């Protein structure tokens, strides 16, 4: 699979008592019983872990098994943590910014093409 590195960096927040964020500056939302998870572009002022995103360049059907496993499997083998937000067409796989080079190497080693 061909993956590209999404420009910029992201941050992941957990808002335990919210059903919607207070603003519209978000990339993805997941509402769950334990609260709201928000993925945002990283603020230059926020002191939080920054994440880098890998996103598939080729849309795949929702019924195609193993696509996400083919990405997160090599990252797990390399010991790289992930946070995933799936879309209708592909998956946004976030890795900690300080592990992004290691993640790209692991993905290339598994046969993926990783492009900036």
pLDDT tens string 44-98? 888 899 999 999 887 777 777 788 999 999 999 999 999 999 888 889 999 999 9
Contacts of 35 (CB under 8 A, 6+ apart): 14, 15, 16, 17, 18
Domain of 91 in residue numbering reads as 2-115
The rounded Cα 31 to chain-centroid distance in angstroms is 17
- Count of domains observed in the chain: 1
Place of tokens 């190497």: 105
- Tell me the whole-structure pTM to 2 decimals: 0.90
The CATH number given to whatever domain includes residue 42 is: 3.30.2130.10
């Amino acid at each position: 699979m061909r993956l590209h590195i999404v420009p910029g960096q992201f941050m992941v927040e957990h808002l335990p008592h919210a059903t919607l964020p207070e603003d519209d500056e978000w990339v993805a939302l997941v509402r769950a019983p334990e609260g709201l998870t928000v993925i945002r572009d990283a603020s230059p002022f926020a002191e939080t872990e920054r994440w880098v995103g890998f996103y598939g360049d080729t849309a795949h059907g929702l019924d195609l098994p193993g696509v996400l496993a083919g990405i997160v499997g090599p990252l797990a083998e390399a010991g790289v943590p992930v946070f995933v937000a799936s879309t209708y067409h592909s998956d946004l796989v976030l890795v900690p910014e300080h592990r992004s080079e290691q993640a790209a190497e692991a993905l290339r080693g598994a046969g993926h093409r990783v492009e900036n």
